[in-house]
Structure formats: structure tokens, C-alpha cells
Amino acid sequence: MREVVVLDAARTAIGKSFRGGLADVRADDLGSTVIAALLAQRLFATGRCLRTLLGL
């Protein structure tokens, strides 16, 4: 079994209404923004990250 390491957690932005400011932003774009920010905060090389989990 491989070792699992949890580095950090974050939330995506939440819009106030169905037609709010994030209505035109795709869910996967929001998620990738969060993942990129977490990797940048930890100065973790993206090539060394084997798997990320989103929405758990």
C-alpha cells in the first residue's frame, strides 16, 4: 500500500445566487484554481504530485 499524505484543504468560492458573479465559471475551472493555489502555497512541484482529490 502506498503512503497517503494530506497537505492542505481549501474551498472554492461560493456564489450568492444562481445568476451571480460565478455563474459563467465552470466547476472544473474553480477546482483547478484551488488545487494550483494549494500547490503554490506549499511550493510543491506539480510533477511530483501523483494524485489530487477534489470534492471529498
Query: Based on the number of CB atoms within 10 Å of its own CB, is 22 exposed (0-12), middle (13-18) or buried (19 or more)?
Result: middle
Average pLDDT of the segment spanning 10-34:
80
Alpha carbons within 13 A on the beta-carbon side of 47: 0
pTM of the model: 0.59
Cβ–Cβ < 8 Å for 31, 12: yes
Q: Residue with C-alpha cell 506539480?
A: 46
Decide if pLDDT at 45 tops 70.
no
Residue 2 confidence (pLDDT): 74
Domain that holds residue 36: 1-56
- Per the structure, how many domains does the chain have? 1
